[in-house]
Amino acid sequence: MSREASRHLFAPLALLPGGWATDVGLDLDGAGNLTGVTAGAASKGRDRLDGPVLPGFPNLHSHAFQRAMAGLAEHRGSDPEDDFWSWRKLMYGLAGALMPEEIQAIAAQLYVEMLEAGYTAVAEFHYLHHQPDGRPYDDLAELSERVIAAAKEAGIGITHLPVMYLTGGLGGKPATEGQRRFLNPPERFLRLVETLRSRHGGDADIAFGIAPHSLRAVPPDALKAIVAAVDAATPIHIHIAEQTGEVDQCLAWSGKRPVEWLVENAPVDRRWCLVHATHMTSDEIRRAATSGAVAGLCPTTEANLGDGFFPAEDWRAAGGTLGLGSDSHISVSVIEELRWLEYGRRLVARRRNRLTGTGGIKDLFLAALDGGARASGRPIGRMAPGRRADMIVLDQDAATLAEIPPDRLLDALVFAGNVNPVKHVMVGGRWHVRDGRHSRRDDILSRYRRALASVRSRL
61 tagged catalytic: no
- Cα torsion 172, 131, 208, 241 to 10°: value is -40
How many CA atoms within 13 Å lie on the side-chain side of 244?
5
Are residues 264 and 299 in contact, defined by beta-carbon separation less than 8 angstroms? no
The DSSP line for 26-40 is EEE-TTSBEEEEETT
The DSSP line for 379-426 is S-SS-STTSB--EEEE-TT-GGGTT--GGGHHHHHHHS-SS--EEEEE
The backbone region for 353, taken as left when phi is positive above 0, alpha when psi lies in -120 to 50, beta otherwise, is left
How many CA atoms within 13 Å lie on the side-chain side of 318?
24
- Exposure class string for 407-418: b at 16+ Cβ within 10 A, else e: eebbbbbbbbee
276 tagged catalytic: yes
User: Residue 296 CB: number of other CB atoms within 10 A?
Assistant: 28
DSSP 332: -
User: Strand, coil or helix: what is 262?
Assistant: helix
DSSP 136: P
The DSSP line for 304-321 is HTT-----HHHHHHTT-E
User: Residue 286 CB: number of other CB atoms within 10 A?
Assistant: 18
Are residues 24 and 16 in contact, defined by beta-carbon separation less than 8 angstroms? yes
Q: Which of 129, 160, 276, 424 is catalytic?
A: 276
User: Strand, coil or helix: what is 328?
Assistant: coil
Are residues 253 and 261 in contact, defined by beta-carbon separation less than 8 angstroms? no
Q: Which of 27, 205, 307, 327 is catalytic?
A: 327
Residues marked as catalytic: 276, 327
